[in-house]
Structure 1
Amino acid sequence: MSTQETDHIAACASIVHKGDPARFRAAMAAPLGLREKLLVLYAFNVEVARAPWVTAEAMIAEMRLQWWHDALGEIAAGGAVRRHEVVTPLSEYLTPEQALALQSLVEARRWDIYPDAFADEAALWTHLSNTTGALMRAALGLAGTETTPKLDEGLKAVALAGWLTAVPALIGQNRHPLPETSEGAIVRLASEGLAKLKTARKQPLPKLARRALLAGWQSEPLLKLALNEPQRVLNGTLELAPFRAQLRLARLAFTNRW
């Protein structure tokens, strides 16, 4: 690996460490070759997720997201790609098909710009599939594995767990993260998420693919917490104790589960 490539990986690692510490810890548990790819992918996600929130001007936010959409288009085209600390290494790892698939993630992030509500729970599940779901499908691809319909449902559940932790912050930004904010609706979502996750985990996966999905390490206990104490979703206390969370990550990494 050249010095420039090493610098790019280090820059991506720094972005993820600061902007997405949970995924950073999961990536560090992966073998070196996959770890570098995941850090680049997760750095891309941090930058795209951040883009709608750095300005109050909708047009500027749209332009920022379009920049990432176009960068992925360049990677998919296979020609010259803009030089950037994240885009450059990303172009080394993504196939054209993977780059095009990630454009759905960028498009879905436009939701963060506007205060539109989800029409129903089906619309929310679609959004989860197009954001964190798309990210995890890309991670699987970097590990050499394609998703399946049942596995994809589990990825939506992983996305839901993270989404529920962000509900108070999104409401504070005048967004409408849930079609319905009653405790009953939260219980229903958490229950469905746990069922999806249980089914997905029964699917056989290569060892490297399970490492790629380790980013969902907190999903099951978070969904169980939301199921049993739905008020935590609304009051901003849906989280695991740091020691418990770290212990769970270590256990899943050691047993090669996700």
Structure 2
Amino acid sequence: MTLNACAELVRQGDPDRFLATMAAPPEARAKLFPLYAFNLEVAKAPWVTREPMIAQMRLQWWQDIVTEVVEGKPPRAHEVAGPFAEVVKSAALPPSVISTMINARYWDINGDLFENEEAVIAHIDRGAGSLTVLAALALGADAEKEEAIREAAIASGIANWLLAVPAIKAAGRKPLAHETLAEVKNLADYGLRMLANHRSTDFGPAVPALRAGWRAKAILSAAIADPQSVPDGRLTTSEFRRKGSLMLKQLTGRW
């Protein structure tokens, strides 16, 4: 039942990863849904309160769960904490990567300004990149491929970040360093280059984890063609193309 609860959370809060996970084998879903549900819980922690101290306490609560798993303590009674702890334990996921993902969310609390485009990319990597690394390792990827996984995953991370720009700005944060159309194009171009660099990389059992970013190429290409669509909130693809492109990836075994 707790796995179903994780899947439902992902269905509601992260529809792309939900569809990609449903296209994966059942044994992969049992590992991916808890990780993606954990990501959603951590992501929402800074936004459920206006009190920075309370938000920090919520993030620390999840960090404590990671520490307890490493120490061999039983998981807390929570619909996500239990399944998540089981995946971390069974796959021996590195606590440092999980902590990096949690710590990335302090930006949502503090709203620090990015000095340059590289800082934006680094922030996206700490969040989305770390999540993809965890998902890939849980599926049996070689730990030595972490750098390649991060580089391949940054494309979808940037794509999702650009999609979220209007919402982030509405929340009083500055998602870009310079907030120019040139910066939008530079970020999108960087993502496409990383994607191209690893199209022929053999990620083995980690493919379902990377497939969560199956829309990255289309979204980033659209951002380059019309960078104004990012601040305007028009950066999207049709529902037909969204689902059709995933089906094609699944049939061809690509990500």
Q: Calculate the TM-score normalised by the size of structure 1.
A: 0.94
Residues 37-95 of structure 1 deviation map (CA, whole Å, 9 limit, x = unaligned): 11111110111111111111111111111101111111122223322111111121114
Task: Give the 5 Å matches for 1:1-258.
Answer: 7-95=1-89, 96-145=92-141, 146=143, 147-206=145-204, 208-258=205-255
Inter-partner Cα distance in structure 1 for 2:2 and 2:36? 13
Match in the other structure for 1:4: none
Unaligned runs of 5+ in 2: none
Q: Is the contact between residue 93 and residue 142 of structure 1 (CA under 8 Å) also seen in structure 2?
A: yes
Inter-partner Cα distance in structure 2 for 1:137 and 1:235? 31
Q: Is the contact between residue 170 and residue 177 of structure 1 (CA under 8 Å) also seen in structure 2?
A: yes
SS of residue paired to 1:213: helix
1:54 partner letter:
V
1:219 partner letter:
A
Q: Is the contact between residue 133 and residue 149 of structure 2 (CA under 8 Å) also seen in structure 1?
A: no
| Alignment coverage as a number of residue pairs | 251
Inter-partner Cα distance in structure 2 for 1:60 and 1:32? 37
2:21 partner letter:
A
Inter-partner Cα distance in structure 2 for 1:114 and 1:240? 32
Q: Is the contact between residue 117 and residue 176 of structure 1 (CA under 8 Å) also seen in structure 2?
A: yes
Residues 100-122 of structure 1 deviation map (CA, whole Å, 9 limit, x = unaligned): 32111111101011222111112
Q: Calculate the TM-score normalised by the size of structure 2.
A: 0.95
User: Taking structure 1 as reference, are residues 75 and 174 closer, same or farther at Cα in structure 2, changes over 3 Å only?
Assistant: same
Segment drifting more, 74-83 vs 169-178 = 74-83
2:243 partner letter:
Q
Segment drifting more, 176-185 vs 148-157 = 148-157
SS of residue paired to 1:191: helix
Q: Is the contact between residue 12 and residue 85 of structure 1 (CA under 8 Å) also seen in structure 2?
A: yes
Inter-partner Cα distance in structure 2 for 1:85 and 1:243? 33
Once the two structures are TM-superposed, the CA of residue 190 in structure 1 deviates from its matched residue by 0.9
Segment drifting more, 90-99 vs 133-142 = 90-99
Once the two structures are TM-superposed, the CA of residue 149 in structure 1 deviates from its matched residue by 2.5
Segment drifting more, 86-95 vs 11-20 = 86-95
